[in-house]
Amino acid sequence: MIKRYLRVICLSVGSIILFPATSCKEETKHVKQKKVTFKKEGELKLLKASNDSIIKKIDIEIADNEFETQTGLMYRESMKDDHGMLFVFPDSRPRSFYMKNTRFSLDIIYLDEQQTIVSFQENASPLDENSLPSNAPAKYVLEVNAGLVQKWQLQVGDKISYTKF
């Protein structure tokens, strides 16, 4: 009986030494997210294909390096209707975007090397990680608030022109 009692004590002490005590509560570390704000880096005109008339002028941020193209509009809460983000890639090829960590709906406009609209992905859902393909080779991608493609009556074949500051 004493041997059995000593064995239980030894096993109990051993488990305390070998397995450090942990709290049932999980510690939550709060990392304060830096607020990302719009930084005007250029101006963009949307042009009607039929007569080059101006459909809309917007202020843009330009994503033209790997970090900026990977981050895009992630972690932002909203964007004004007269703002957008233009992605500029070194080559023209089929593109695919997703809405990971993007907290508001977007229209994604794909453009070829001549800055002509080749396709759209409208009303992309916030935080959705599904692929949103270009369906044609694209060198440029313009992100604007959801619903603006319809509001501005954009069509495949319409163009953009932009100035970088």
Reported as a pLDDT band with limits 50, 70 and 90, residue 36 is confident
- Token look-up 């495949």 returns 156
pLDDT digits (tens, 9 = 90+) for 38-57: 999 999 999 999 999 999 99
| Residues 6 or more apart in contact with residue 143 via CB below 8 angstroms | 72, 73, 84, 85, 87, 97, 106, 107, 108, 109
Burial of 99 (0-12, 13-18, 19+ CB in 10 A): buried
What pLDDT sits at residue 35? 73
**Predicted model pTM:** 0.79
* Arch. (CATH architecture) of 39-164: Sandwich (2.60)
What pLDDT sits at residue 15? 45
| Residues 6 or more apart in contact with residue 101 via CB below 8 angstroms | 74, 75, 127
Distance CA 121, CA 128 (A): 13
Q: Nearest CA to 109 among 163, 165, 53, 147? A: 147
Rounded mean pLDDT, 56-77:
95
Rounded mean pLDDT, 24-30:
46
Q: pLDDT averaged over the chain?
A: 86
Distance CA 149, CA 83 (A): 13
pLDDT digits (tens, 9 = 90+) for 81-125: 999 999 999 999 999 999 999 999 999 999 999 999 999 999 999
What are the residue ranges of helices labelled H in 19-127? 66-71
